[in-house]
Amino acid sequence: MSIYKIPIGPLVEDFINYTVSNFKPFFEGIAAVILFIHGIIEAALFIVPPWVAIPIVVFLTWRFASRSTGLFALISLSLIWNLRLWDVSIETLGLVITASLISLMIAIPLGILVAENRIVAQLMTPILDFLQTMPRFIYLIPGVIVFGIGTVPGIIATITLVL
């Protein structure tokens, strides 16, 4: 006896193709906003040269953490600069700051809404519980399908880590 096999693969593929083709302007708008925010943050980070940024970070770390942490910051940031990894480190920092900022813009209003509205809380709790059980790199798959490979899906996947 054979059991009918539900064609989930072709159904999902059709759904993805339909979504990507019919909501392309929406996804391009999201990508444009994310890239705009990221461009501003990255440009601001690149304005400060390493020989200015390192002493500032070391002083703040020494002042608000400890002397040993400040010394570690001095050694590690100087090593990053010496190995000519400063630019890629600043790019990574820009991605993380962008994802964190966008996460805050999503999470604060949503958190207030969930805290103040019982119906929204009942709807959101199972969704958020399910999303927490998924491995984080799973969120890269739809991001790459919709936005392609690049900065935007990376930021979206990082947003899921921050949220």
Split the chain (163 residues) into runs of 10 and give each run's mean pLDDT.
84 89 92 96 96 96 95 97 96 94 93 93 90 80 85 86 72
Per-residue confidence (pLDDT) for residue 61, from 0 to 100? 96
Per-residue confidence (pLDDT) for residue 37, from 0 to 100? 96
Report the alpha-carbon distance of residue 84 to residue 89 in Å, rounded: 10
* Sequence spans of domains, the chain: 23-162
Per-residue confidence (pLDDT) for residue 46, from 0 to 100? 96
Per-residue confidence (pLDDT) for residue 137, from 0 to 100? 76
State the DSSP H helix or E strand holding residue 119, giving kind and residue range, or none if neither: helix 118-133
What pTM did the predictor assign? 0.82
Per-residue confidence (pLDDT) for residue 40, from 0 to 100? 97
- Asked if residues 140 and 157 have their Cβ atoms less than 8 Å apart, the reply is yes
Report the alpha-carbon distance of residue 39 to residue 33 in Å, rounded: 10
